[in-house]
Amino acid sequence: MGVDLGELLPKRKVLLDDLAGRKLAVDAYNTLYQFLAIIRQPNGTLLMDGSGRVTSHLSGILYRTANLGEKGIRVAYVFDGRPPELKEMEIKRRRAVKEEAVAKYEAALTAGKPEEARKYAQATSTLRETMLDDAKRLLKELGVPCVQAPSEGEAQAAYMAARGDVWAAASQDHDSLLFGAPRVVRNLNITGKRKLPMQRGYVEIAPEIVELNETLRHLSITREQLVDAGILIGTDYNPDGVKGVGPKTALKLIKEYKNLETIAIKKPNLGLPKNADKVRENFLTPNTTQNFTLAWEQPHIEEAVSFLCGERSFSEDRVRKALERMTAGLTRASSSTTLESYF
């Protein structure tokens, strides 16, 4: 879900070409679930190989990563570890939504309604351990580093960006800002449009950058106050937030009373989350690690072809062309100088 800060944030649209030469840390789980949701057959069935193994996520990784590489953008995928205990309620909510979607998907299939089935299928995705293993294997053959987070992948990506290991965290959620990412790249998609979840239509999109310091100056608050505003709105650690409080009201309360402690005193009937202190701590001092290595290589073309085409039924011609484009783009980016002044 993520915190709903969108309408408060100053955003700057860019072209993928403007990101050439940049290194980005991608929230792997967020991205893989996106692939599983949208890369499906017309009736909602996932793409599979000849043995019935799911390949939708592999298709997404290959073509998304290759297309970004063609633009000279290097990505590292950051995988979730053990979720914080605070996230238990949100995990249960997602599980319930998924179970309901599965039932509706199966009913639509039985009723012979493929378009309706596809709509519900998008919310039924489950990342299994074998799928994660396949994803990491493919990324290795693409020459792309994987980072294992001790807990939240998004927190780890933000930490890597804050350290300067990468230029930005890439995620659709705004939580990265609460975790301290100096900048977040959203809509990291080559196509220029994104499928609307649970709907038939598409929405035109463009990559955009949200910068933490610019956001704080624009809103005239501190990062700690931004976290407090997020808690009022609702986060993955307190999904319900405060009843009746949206982004604008949350900002108004924080600017007037400065923090949650003062709000609790001045407005005792507002109903602040009981776990607010723990939620705040989880954003300001998340569980992250320095135990990772970022090393990008040129794609191992023959190994990738052997895996995808020899074992997973991909078209060799399409795979080779994608990898050749990726190799050429990364080579150009490595030999050219990116104009830092643009940003």
What residue ranges do the domains of the chain occupy? Answer: 1-219, 221-286
Would you tell me how many other CB atoms lie within 10 Å of the CB of residue 15?
10
Angle, helices 247-257/223-233, rounded to nearest 10 degrees: 130
- Dump pLDDT digits (tens) for 191-247: 555 555 555 566 678 899 999 999 999 999 999 999 999 999 999 899 889 999 999
Q: Name 203's bridge partners.
A: 194
Tell me what the mean pLDDT of segment 45-74 comes to: 96
Whether 166 contacts 76, CB under 8 Å = yes
pLDDT band at residue 265 under the 50/70/90 scheme: very high
- Distance CA(159)–CA(180), nearest Å, equals 7
What CATH number does the domain located at 1-219 have? 3.40.50.1010
Q: Which of 101, 161, 149, 108 lies closest to 125 in space, CA to CA?
A: 101
Q: Do domains 1-219 and 221-286 have the same CATH topology?
A: no
Which residue matches tokens 């929230």? 27
Supply the mean pLDDT for the chain.
Answer: 89
Residues, the chain: 343
Choice between 160 and 271, residue whose per-residue pLDDT is larger: 160
Whether 164 contacts 299, CB under 8 Å = no
- Dump pLDDT digits (tens) for 288-316: 999 999 999 999 999 999 999 999 999 99
Instruction: Give residue 7's pLDDT.
Output: 82
Choice between 199 and 49, residue whose per-residue pLDDT is larger: 49
Tell me what the mean pLDDT of segment 249-274 comes to: 94
C-alpha distance from residue 215 to each of 49, 53, 171, 181 (Å): 45, 44, 17, 12
Tell me what the mean pLDDT of segment 259-268 comes to: 95
pLDDT band at residue 337 under the 50/70/90 scheme: very low
Options 3.90.1720.10, 1.10.150.20, 1.10.510.10, 3.30.1330.60; which CATH number does 221-286 get? Answer: 1.10.150.20
Instruction: Give residue 259's pLDDT.
Output: 96
- For 44, the token pair is 């909602």
pLDDT band at residue 341 under the 50/70/90 scheme: very low
DSSP-assigned letter for residue 46:
B
- Interacting residues of 251 by C-beta distance below 8 A, sequence separation 6+: 8, 219, 221, 229
What is the value of pTM for the model shown?
0.88
Q: What are phi and psi of 96, to 5 degrees?
A: -65, -40
